[in-house]
């Protein structure tokens, strides 16, 4: 009798229990334990906070928001690059039980207005500007469209300072009373992921989701009070605020903000000057750091570990990070916003091949399986199928979109990721493709449908199909195949970019454009995007990028 093949199912038994805290209570518990240990460093300004200092600022922010009428369940938006105030607002809203809505700093007016209205944001904390974005002007442009928005506080302005001053003079007893009304299962964060129907969807996450995921990512990196984590990844995403901030504060480690936005030289200088033991990044960030002409001049000897995640991780880049940056215990994480985000992680004691060519094994307290996307049945190990995960990390759902939630979370609470994976006999996973036509450009998720819907607003475009094509730097780049109306002027990548600028985030703007009379179609009338991608790779000469191996 032959032994049946093992099913592609695995779970993460652990002797380390899940945390039952709220985020605020966990921060207070850590501060009581580590005393005057350094909690936060902002390299751009040289400002520093010990854990007691950080708790004082967080409490001031919470009490200031409370004085503005923010209550449990109210939505507070934050639209800013990485800065210390982002951290105060993250933990301050959690202490109130308010729901923090993360707004991508690259958003333009079209996207900003949608998020403000869809989440029902009543208070917005915003930077004044970042790179080419004038946030004041953009907020002014959309404010009349957003009936729920009653307060806008620009960081550094008198209104922000007044909020913090009010909070510092506030009654800590009131905050303690507010905290007694909170549950770890309360929603406290909405993160928008690009939508397949033209607009982003708001993944709604709880204290329990985010705190535990950050904690177990930190466990996977072996964090203690001795660790100093360099966080160049954006706070508006789970990678920054969850794996970064919560990974640190749940272990008493130090958060280091190298710059408001990613800069490879400033990142390595922060690692050097602050003696960071851990460094985060999407693959494009590590590629940029390794590519600096003076890379060898930085003293990175303090580095021990770190995380590469956010998009497929090239095996050769991972090996260089280990050998040239000294990150002997670097790990790869795989996940998605809807799962807080991490579902699998490589281990520091895995062999080099598994640490560089897989996305690891299932995380503690979670379950994963690989299923046939047609039948829903678990496939044998070694067989590709859709990656699904279940456990504490799965979001409550998409904000105010029960139908969209039901499309991805089945009745048994399995989250269907849309990613194609293969599980080996030891339970290690490889991500081999995507069922959906999601494009991941430099760690940013882009659903082509959203870009296509926007391109249809161009007066000369009759039809548009957007695909991802391989790119050695960003993993993937966007390409638009376009049908023009009869008699229209020729459209180039440059003129299309001009049309998109200021209306779409930069990472959603197609890099390549191909004008066609028709799209390749299946016999049932569906566009064959796989064929479009194959043709594009040949025509653009992207064979080398297409051949890059990823975990």
Which domains are assigned to the chain?
23-421 (3.40.50.12780), 439-546 (3.30.300.30)
Residue 65, both tokens: 């928001």
End-to-end Cα, the chain, rounded Å: 36
* Rounded (5°) CA angle 337-345-223: 100
Give dist(CA 26, CA 397) in Å, integer: 24
pLDDT at 196: 44
Burial 398-408 (b: 16+ CB within 10 A, else e): bbebeebbeeb
pLDDT at 315: 81
**Model confidence, pTM:** 0.87
Are the C-beta atoms of 452 and 509 separated by less than 8 Å? Answer: no
Nearest CA to 225 out of 353, 35, 44, 84 is that of 35
Mapped to the 3 state alphabet, what secondary structure does 474-530 carry?
CEEEEEEEEEECCCCCCCCHHHHHHHHECCECHHHCCCEEEECCCCCECCCCCECHH
Residue 308, both tokens: 């590469």
Place of tokens 């790990």: 331
Give dist(CA 75, CA 71) in Å, integer: 9
pLDDT at 298: 98
Residues paired with residue 482 on neighbouring β-strands, in sequence order: 464, 515
Give dist(CA 516, CA 462) in Å, integer: 11
Place of tokens 């479009």: 532
| Chain centroid to CA 452 | 23
Are the C-beta atoms of 125 and 83 separated by less than 8 Å? Answer: no
pLDDT at 445: 78
Burial (CB < 10 A; 0-12, 13-18, 19+), residue 266, is middle
Burial (CB < 10 A; 0-12, 13-18, 19+), residue 497, is middle
Q: Which three-class secondary structure state does DSSP give residue 131?
A: coil
Helix (H) or strand (E) holding 220: helix 207-220
**Segment-wise mean pLDDT, segments of 10 residues, the chain, 551 residues:** 88 98 98 98 98 98 98 98 98 98 94 96 97 96 97 98 98 95 98 72 98 98 98 96 98 98 97 98 91 96 95 83 96 96 95 90 98 94 95 98 96 94 96 78 84 88 90 93 90 92 93 93 71 94 88 76
Give dist(CA 71, CA 111) in Å, integer: 26
């Amino acid at each position: 009798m032959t032994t049946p093949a093992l099913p592609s199912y695995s779970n993460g038994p652990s002797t380390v229990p899940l945390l039952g805290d709220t985020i605020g209570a966990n921060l207070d518990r850590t501060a009581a334990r580590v005393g005057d240990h350094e909690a936060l460093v902002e390299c751009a300004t040289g400002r520093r906070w010990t854990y007691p200092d950080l708790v004082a600022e967080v409490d001031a922010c919470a009490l200031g928001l409370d004085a503005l009428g923010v209550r449990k369940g109210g939505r507070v938006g934050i639209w800013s690059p990485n800065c210390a105030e982002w951290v105060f607002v993250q933990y301050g809203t959690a202490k109130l039980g308010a729901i923090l809505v993360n707004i991508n700093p690259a958003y333009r007016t079209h996207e900003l207005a949608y998020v403000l209205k869809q989440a029902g944001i009543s208070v917005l904390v915003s930077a004044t500007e970042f790179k080419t974005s004038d946030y004041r002007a953009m907020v002014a442009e959309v404010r009349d469209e957003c009936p729920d928005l009653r307060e806008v506080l620009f960081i550094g302005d008198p209104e922000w300072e007044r909020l913090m001053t009010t909070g510092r003079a506030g009654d800590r007893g009131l905050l303690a009373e507010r905290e007694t009304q909170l549950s770890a299962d309360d929603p406290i964060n909405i993160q928008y992921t690009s939508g397949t129907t033209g607009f982003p969807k708001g993944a709604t996450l709880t204290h329990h989701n985010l705190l535990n995921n950050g904690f177990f990512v930190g466990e996977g990196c072996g964090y203690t009070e001795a660790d100093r984590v360099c966080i160049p990844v954006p706070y508006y995403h789970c990678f920054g605020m969850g794996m970064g901030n919560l990974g640190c504060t749940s272990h008493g480690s130090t958060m280091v903000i190298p710059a408001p936005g990613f800069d490879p030289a400033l990142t390595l200088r922060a690692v050097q000057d602050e003696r960071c033991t851990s460094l985060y990044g999407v693959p494009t960030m590590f590629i940029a750091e390794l590519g600096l002409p003076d890379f060898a001049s930085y003293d990175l000897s303090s580095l021990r570990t770190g995380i590469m995640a956010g998009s497929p991780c090239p095996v050769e880049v991972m090996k260089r990070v280990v050998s040239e940056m000294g990150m002997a215990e670097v790990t790869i994480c795989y996940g998605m916003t809807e799962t807080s985000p991490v579902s699998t992680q490589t281990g520091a004691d895995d062999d080099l091949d598994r640490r560089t060519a897989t996305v690891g094994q299932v995380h503690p307290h979670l379950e994963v399986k690989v299923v046939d996307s047609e039948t829903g049945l678990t496939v044998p190990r070694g067989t590709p199928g859709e990656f699904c995960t279940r456990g504490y990390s799965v979001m409550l759902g998409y904000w105010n979109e029960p139908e969209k939630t039901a499309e991805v979370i089945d009745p048994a609470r399995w989250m269907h990721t849309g990613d194609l994976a293969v599980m080996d006999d030891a339970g290690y996973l490889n991500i081999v493709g995507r069922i959906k036509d999601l494009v991941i450009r430099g760690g940013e998720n882009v659903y082509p449908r959203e870009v296509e819907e926007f391109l249809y607003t161009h007066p000369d475009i009759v039809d548009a199909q957007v695909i991802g094509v391989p790119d050695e730097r960003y993993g993937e780049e966007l390409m638009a195949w376009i049908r023009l109306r009869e008699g229209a002027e020729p459209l180039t990548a440059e003129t299309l970019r001009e049309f998109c600028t200021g209306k779409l985030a930069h990472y959603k703007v197609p890099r390549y454009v191909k004008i066609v009379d028709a799209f390749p179609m299946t016999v049932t009338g569906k566009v064959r995007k796989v064929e479009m991608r194959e043709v594009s790779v040949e025509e653009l000469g992207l064979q080398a990028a297409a051949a890059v191996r990823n975990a």
